[in-house]
Amino acid sequence: MTVAIVLILVATLYRLLPTFDLSLSNISPLMAIAFCGAVYFKNRRMWLIPFVALSLSDLYINHHYATQYGFQWPLSGFIARTACFAFALLLGSWVAKRKSWLWLLNGSLIGALIFYLVTNTQSWLSDASYAKTLAGWWQALTVGLPQYPPTYLFFLKSLFGDLMFTGLFAGVMEWMAHRKGEPSLIETEEDEPVEQPVEAEVEE
């Protein structure tokens, strides 16, 4: 449990690196932090740790952008991101009941995709630079605005961060369980025993 909390807090602190180097933007594992927390924390009250950590880091990053660059997220942006974090917790809770390496991968992919769709749709709706048409929405999902890098690159970076953190998180938790002599935390489907045919006894 302590190791899981430390990993989540370290990953959250990693989110703050773009405030020092913008080239590291969008590589942080946003959805994976909440997702992994819900997968491995059986006590739902512990879900507050990744949720609060993400929310507080959002506030700090927004304050930094506002003071350094004169830009800040609108309220709708906070609502959209918070809703995504909540969805990641629910997704993690669902995956926890069928935990496997495949479902951890699927959960990371789904989380990154949902965050990409929701946040870019929110940008399309709130930013006057986008035409409020299907073409404008597609622009928000792909190339974005001319003065910024293409939004699909943001998606690829966030997907990379989510996959890397999920793999690292699960790997460390498995390694710790192995060191303690505990069973694997990743449930694997074992082959069902094959019933041997019973030979009928023949009375002579």
Establish if 196 belongs to a structural domain: no
Establish if 167 belongs to a structural domain: yes
Establish if 46 belongs to a structural domain: yes
Establish if 188 belongs to a structural domain: no
Q: What is the pLDDT of residue 187?
A: 60
Establish if 70 belongs to a structural domain: yes
What tokens does 18 get?
């773009």
Establish if 87 belongs to a structural domain: yes
Establish if 99 belongs to a structural domain: yes
CB 140 within 8 A of CB 126: no
What tokens does 72 get?
């800040």
Establish if 21 belongs to a structural domain: yes
Per-residue confidence in pLDDT tens, the chain, 204 aa: 788 888 888 888 888 887 787 766 777 788 998 999 898 888 888 999 999 998 898 888 888 888 887 777 788 888 999 999 999 999 999 998 887 888 999 999 999 999 999 999 999 999 999 999 999 999 999 999 998 889 999 899 889 989 999 999 888 888 888 888 877 767 644 433 444 444 444 444
Range of the domain at 139: 2-179
Q: Report the number of distinct structural domains present in the chain.
A: 1
Q: What is the pLDDT of residue 151?
A: 92
pTM of the model: 0.81
Long-range contacts of 5-10 (CB under 8 A, 24+ apart): 5/49, 7/36, 7/168, 7/169, 7/172, 8/33, 8/36, 8/37, 8/49, 8/50, 8/53, 9/49, 9/53
